[in-house]
């Protein structure tokens, strides 16, 4: 579950997302999950996390990120900055729960920008993902390495406020993370520049059948 939570927070809060000159849209990531060690726990976790995906929805003052981790959990966070409201929704084997609050309450504390613990190296390697030009970067942190394909055609404003690593020099459309013996490969697989039924998509009301958590 730590792997799931860590990766969810990479994209959990994107309220200052500016897709170039686009006003709204949808971005879907396919997630390939494999075990990189032979432990029973890693192999079982990888099996349960098959068919995982992440979806990002955005519009003016609105954002939503859905994270479906195979058979383990489905999480959704929705932010309405104009109304200063947000909600997290979680569906798992432990039950269905919803948690409402202000934008600050939902988004939590701001991560600090730092370059002391990691180094990001650009390479002269490029490829096209969903029509966006991406450049290869490798981040080294405490002896661990991660590869990112970043585009500067999707701009994150105030990057330090709502993503784990605010020093990434672009928006990641493909990246790999390894944690607790699990390798997760994210790659953008679908993009749309308009949304239908934004009222329903960005609703901050608890769905029927969900238990509302008290603060």
pTM, whole model, 2 decimals?
0.79
Structural tokens at position 36: 């990189």
Comparing 186 with 193, the larger pLDDT belongs to: 186
Give the pLDDT confidence of 23-75 residue by residue, as tens digits: 788 889 999 999 988 888 888 888 888 889 999 888 888 888 899 988 888 99
Mean pLDDT, rounded, for 184-212: 92
Q: How far is CA 65 from CA 76, 92, 124, 195, in A?
A: 6, 17, 31, 14
Domains of the chain: 2-212 (2.50.20.10)
Bridge partners, 119 (sequence order): 140
Contacts of 37 (CB under 8 A, 6+ apart): 181
Average pLDDT over residues 184-192: 92
Confidence check: pLDDT of 16 > 90: no
3-state secondary structure of 37: coil
Mean pLDDT, to the nearest integer, of 122-127?
Answer: 97
């Amino acid at each position: 579950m730590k792997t799931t939570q860590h990766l969810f927070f990479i994209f959990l809060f994107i309220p200052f997302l500016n897709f170039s000159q686009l006003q709204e849209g949808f971005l879907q990531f396919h997630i390939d999950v494999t075990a990189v060690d032979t432990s029973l726990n890693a192999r079982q976790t990888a099996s349960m996390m098959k068919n995982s995906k992440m979806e990002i929805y955005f519009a003016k003052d609105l954002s939503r990120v859905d994270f479906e981790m195979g058979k383990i959990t489905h999480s959704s966070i929705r932010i309405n900055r104009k109304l200063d409201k947000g909600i997290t929704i979680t569906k798992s084997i432990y039950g269905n729960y919803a948690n409402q609050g202000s934008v600050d309450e939902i988004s939590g504390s701001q991560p600090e920008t730092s370059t002391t613990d990691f180094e990001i190296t650009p390479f002269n390697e490029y490829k096209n993902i969903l029509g966006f030009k991406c450049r290869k970067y490798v981040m080294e942190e405490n002896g661990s390495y991660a590869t990112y394909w970043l585009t500067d055609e999707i701009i994150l404003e105030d990057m330090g406020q709502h993503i784990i690593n605010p020093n990434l020099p672009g928006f990641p459309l493909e990246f790999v993370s390894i944690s607790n013996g699990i390798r997760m490969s994210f790659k953008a697989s679908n993009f749309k520049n308009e949304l239908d039924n934004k009222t329903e998509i960005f609703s901050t009301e608890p769905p029927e059948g969900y238990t509302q958590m008290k603060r």
